[in-house]
Amino acid sequence: MSTPHTQNTKKKAFIDVLRLNQGNIKATCEKVGMGRTTYYNWIDDDKDFETEVKNVNEELIDFAESQLHAKIAQGNLTAIIFFLKCKGQTRGYIEKQYIEKRQMTEPIKVFDFEPDTIVIE
């Protein structure tokens, strides 16, 4: 059985390898020699570990955004269009329509009749 100190060392090593594997959980588990079940148990049981995993993913997003901004600065039209479709929607750079769905509060009346007035022949 692992001591808390050993467990924390394993978790720190996992986070370091996760960073090297660019957030790939499967590759990281294989590299450190543990199953995904252990990873998910750590996520469930240790909020600090979960936060560190989220931080790794945020770092990857930050890196990708910086690369996107670099391409925009170089005048890459695809990067510019992508950015505007994602971040410029309030200014009209949008391709899809958002449909607001509302819940019906009253039933729709299909027929207006009295049951006694129906004649069956």
pLDDT digits (tens, 9 = 90+) for 38-97: 999 999 999 999 999 999 999 999 999 999 999 999 999 999 999 999 999 888 888 777
The span from the CA of 92 to the CA of 85, in Å, is 9
Q: What is the pLDDT of residues 8-47, one digit of tens each?
A: 899 999 999 999 999 999 999 999 999 999 999 999 999 9
Query: What are the domain boundaries of the chain?
Result: 4-101
19 and 59 in contact (C-beta within 8 Å)?
Answer: yes
pTM tops 0.85: no
Closest CA to 38 of 20, 23, 25: 25
DSSP annotation string for 44-84:
HH-HHHHHHHHHHHHHHHHHHHHHHHHHHHTT-HHHHHHHH
The span from the CA of 95 to the CA of 89, in Å, is 9
- The residue written with tokens 């993913």 in the block is 57
